[in-house]
Structure 1
Amino acid sequence: MKQLKLEDYAIIQPYLEKANYEGYNSNFVTMMMWNHEYHIQYEIHDNFLIMLHHYKNIYFWAMPFTTPEFYQEALDYMIKYSHQHGFPFMIDCAIESFVSTLQKNDYSHQFLFERTPFNDDYIYDKDMLQTLAGKKMQKRRNHYNAFLKAYPDYEYRDLDIVKDFDIIFTCLNRWEGEKDNLSESMTSEVRGIMSLLSSKHLLPFHIGGIFIHNQLEAFIIASKLNHSTIQIHVEKANKDIRGLYPAILKELLEHHFQNEKWVNREEDMGLENLRRSKQSLHPVKMIHKYRIYENQTIIEKANDHNLEDIKKLWLQCFEDETEESTNYYFQELYHKENTFVLKNDNRILSALQIVPMSIMKNKKPEECYFILGVCTHPYFQKQGLMKQLLYFVLSKYTNKTIYLQAYHPEIYRPFGFHASHYHQVIEIDKNMLKNYSDLKISQQYDLLEKYYHQFVSHFDEYRIRSHEYWQLLRKRCESFNDQILIFEDLGYFIYHEDDESIYISEAIYFNQNNLLQMLSYFKKSSKKLILECDMTVNLNCESKYIITMMSNTLQKDRMESNKYINEVY
């Protein structure tokens, strides 16, 4: 491997052009600006060029610079090199078109692909940023007009590396030195800027500045990318001067890059303030980025060291989960011995918990299993990891009836699961409800178990809820911000209330007249009343059916009213 140097531009650039990647990471100017931090090395082979970065004890590759027919040859060499030199294979900042090409080829099983949205490039319409025309640019246009009004005699000119080096350096020190805490990345950026400036005579980029009263107040550095795109490497300005940022960019675009259509303003690095700033300029598209790893997945039972990683994964995957509900689950219901994890390079990417569950079928108890949760990291989804994990677990529980909740039924049918239990979701017409003055609300929570057993005794199939289940129910409801409402001698509701609606997620009652009496409790509420209930309820209201549970013992979906299971966990 050779160290990348400024003098290598003429050697490297033809390979960059051959690869023709979108994205600013494949720009030689960018490489040189940050080479002090990433210590880039390269090798040239007959059909490809490869680059290896070394950042804070982590090695990673750039995409191979070649045409698609040589991707596999290059990747095979890069993997072999990684193995020989004792570091994990990883490509960072791979663009979507490159990833898509790999995924369509036979060797795609060699790799795992991780979405890294914090690395995505923001792409803008050049004319919009240059003219500031249109409703979307109104706020920016107002700032620019305020600048023109305040400083009508400002001067824009291209900066000369010899004549202007000292004033640029002085301005950088002044602007950055005013910050209370100069971050490591800022310090590195200043070093990169100075490196670029000292290389101006050898690299194809433009640098321009705005002077006010003969003092430099802003400067900008940009270069040309492929795909009719301009990359903005640096924008620095006196933040106390309103409209200076739109002015410096507008001037650069008016003076250079007349034939380009797009402006690449790089990534937001996952920083919320930077994200809002870049989104406020209305990007026309994003260049999506990925990390690529060698696929070395293994599946094993969870251990004590996996707990925090599984909790984090759970929160990332399930949008309706909160810190409270997740803590409840992992404190009260999680068991490592029932949990399987899929790992790659010791990183948990997918997890599944399968727990024993007792079902009453035709008056006979049956020991079954319930897949309580399957989750795959959002950045690794749609690569078959859940499929791999689910098949592995199912092979461990052959000849067992297994249930799972059906948030997305179409996902599980290929695995042999079909809908076994349904609910109705009914929007209650409150006009049909009568006023009952004799409703008795009880605080005797031991009635819950009694009422449930009385209710399910009418069904041919239902879940047997253990005594432990009832001991935990109130705590579970608290964690989900659900309410329990017990009606003496009628039944109970578990419901959730927000600003617009009351959603009853469990309705336990003795007969339909009792159910109507219980619903009348909410008659005077101005909120929408939604009832999720079993299939035997017959109300003259708008309703829909939902699948609440699937089973691996059915050959097709079966909508039967004599079954009842209603579980979250």
Structure 2
Amino acid sequence: MKETLIELGVASAIGGLSPLSLKNNFLLNRYLHSVPSQLSAYSVPSLFIWQDFFAYYWTLVDDHLCLFAQYDGNYYMPLPPLGNGFNPKAVKESFCLMERLNSDPAISRIDHVTEETVALYEGMGLNVRLNTYEYVYRREAVAGLHGDSYKSKRWAINSFLRHYQATFEPYRPSDLLQCAELFDDWQSMRQEKFKDSYYRALMEDAAIAHCRAMEHDQDLGLVGRVVKIGGRVKGYTFGFELRPQLFCILLEVCDLRVKGLAQFLFWKFCQELEQYTCINVLDDSGLDNIRRTKESYHPERLVPSYTVYRV
């Protein structure tokens, strides 16, 4: 990832912490890659696209990078202390710092704790709770769509190809406006169908995150593709290499009126990613419609993500 002046949160030093900037991306990536996790949170793009909602800070404890996100005057850790091996001192000092800064100690937490370290946190007397799962597929399976279990996906794609003359192209900065318009249209249609306030709030936040990703795709090392019909963007998707052999699909939006487009976009993108063995498509945000869709592609595994509290 090239040097950039884009900042992860416009923030000044506070409470012994330093503001995090992508100017430190070598340092950040070094520590992120010290943890061999398949969770999408262990990446620069997953942090950066939410910078409009959080200010990020960091400090080092025993050569472990401790990252903090600040919102509404309170702090939590979006990732555990990053470094070689589990470090109880870094965990203890991080909780002490959060509890000193937060209005309520119950706010203090560590997100995206891996399954492999759960017993270590529990051994410290901490409260560990399962938060969510991320869906990981074999790329060969979702790119090939062979067998009866994928029959409906093949039918949707073939129907799309029969009815539309579409192009599948690399994303270009000139596509940004049409992608933003597509998101607004998609958001309006989803809000018509789903009245839940939580779902609506997720979409409003996602609008900003998607624009952030598209505006800085090169800085973040994102791979973007668009589907155009009649010269207009009708679908887009972005992702990045999370680990060697593991690609993460970060964003995907389609015109809901175009039947089979969603299946075509995902299938076509997965076909391109020949150098990868597996595809991570994030979690389901606790929403049944997203869960059903992701389960319908038959994940090879569900990667659990835990949250740790002291109280």
Deviations 1:114-165 (A, max 9, x none): 122xx211111111111111222111111111111112x311110112x222
Q: CA deviation at 1:227?
A: 5.7
Q: Does 1:40 align with 2:52?
A: no
Task: Give the 3-state SS of the residue equivalent to 2:89 in structure 1.
Answer: helix
CA distance in 1, matches of 2:186, 2:168: 19
Match for 2:118 among 64, 79, 99?
99
Contact 2:175 2:233 survives alignment (8 Å)? no
Counting only pairs closer than 5 Å after superposition, residues 449-528 of structure 1 correspond to structure 2 as none
> Which runs of 5 or more structure 2 residues have no equivalent in the other structure?
1-16
Larger relative contact order, structure 1 or 2 (CA cutoff 8 Å, min sep 6): 2
Contact 1:220 1:232 survives alignment (8 Å)? yes
Counting only pairs closer than 5 Å after superposition, residues 133-532 of structure 1 correspond to structure 2 as 133-151=146-164, 153-161=165-173, 163-178=174-189, 179-180=191-192, 183-226=200-243, 228-255=245-272, 257-294=273-310, 345=311
Q: What amino acid is the match of 2:127?
A: L
CA distance in 2, matches of 1:168, 1:188: 16
CA distance in 2, matches of 1:230, 1:123: 10
Deviations 1:294-314 (A, max 9, x none): 2xxxxxxxxxxxxxxxxxxxx
> Which runs of 5 or more structure 1 residues have no equivalent in the other structure?
295-344, 346-569
Task: Give the 3-state SS of the residue equivalent to 1:40 in structure 2.
Answer: strand
Contact 1:155 1:211 survives alignment (8 Å)? yes
Distance 1:210 1:224, change over 3 A: same
Q: What amino acid is the match of 1:145?
A: N
Contact 1:95 1:289 survives alignment (8 Å)? yes
CA distance in 1, matches of 2:309, 2:62: 25
Contact 1:218 1:236 survives alignment (8 Å)? yes
Name the Cα RMSD after superposition.
Answer: 2.0
Q: CA deviation at 1:235?
A: 0.7
Q: Does 1:114 align with 2:125?
A: no
Q: What amino acid is the match of 1:196?
A: A
CA distance in 2, matches of 1:139, 1:58: 47
CA distance in 1, matches of 2:216, 2:24: 12
Q: CA deviation at 1:12?
A: 0.7
Task: Give the 3-state SS of the residue equivalent to 1:281 in structure 2.
Answer: coil
The count of residues paired between Structure 1 and Structure 2 equals 285
Distance 1:23 1:127, change over 3 A: same
Q: What amino acid is the match of 2:183?
A: L
* Corresponding position of 1:74: 90
Contact 1:6 1:199 survives alignment (8 Å)? no
Using the size of structure 1 for normalisation, the TM-score is 0.48
Task: Give the 3-state SS of the residue equivalent to 1:211 in structure 2.
Answer: strand
Q: What amino acid is the match of 2:171?
A: L
Deviations 1:355-414 (A, max 9, x none): xxxxxxxxxxxxxxxxxxxxxxxxxxxxxxxxxxxxxxxxxxxxxxxxxxxxxxxxxxxx
Task: Give the 3-state SS of the residue equivalent to 1:44 in structure 2.
Answer: strand
CA distance in 1, matches of 2:234, 2:269: 15
Q: Does 1:126 align with 2:139?
A: yes
* Corresponding position of 2:81: 64
Contact 1:221 1:235 survives alignment (8 Å)? yes
Task: Give the 3-state SS of the residue equivalent to 2:49 in structure 1.
Answer: helix
Q: Structure 1 vs Structure 2: percent identity of aligned residues?
A: 17
Contact 1:122 1:283 survives alignment (8 Å)? yes
CA distance in 1, matches of 2:287, 2:54: 21
Q: CA deviation at 1:101?
A: 4.3
Q: What amino acid is the match of 2:261?
A: L
CA distance in 1, matches of 2:48, 2:240: 13
Deviations 1:220-252 (A, max 9, x none): 011111262211111100111111111111222
Which one has the largest radius of gyration? 1
CA distance in 2, matches of 1:7, 1:240: 42
CA distance in 2, matches of 1:232, 1:111: 32
Q: What amino acid is the match of 1:75?
A: V
* Corresponding position of 1:425: none
Q: CA deviation at 1:56?
A: 5.3
CA distance in 1, matches of 2:99, 2:22: 29
Distance 1:47 1:53, change over 3 A: same
Using the size of structure 2 for normalisation, the TM-score is 0.85
Deviations 1:430-460 (A, max 9, x none): xxxxxxxxxxxxxxxxxxxxxxxxxxxxxxx
Q: What amino acid is the match of 2:32?
A: L
Q: CA deviation at 1:99?
A: 1.4
Q: CA deviation at 1:45?
A: 4.3
Task: Give the 3-state SS of the residue equivalent to 1:217 in structure 2.
Answer: strand
Contact 2:40 2:242 survives alignment (8 Å)? yes
Contact 1:156 1:210 survives alignment (8 Å)? yes
Q: What amino acid is the match of 1:155?
A: T
Contact 1:219 1:235 survives alignment (8 Å)? yes
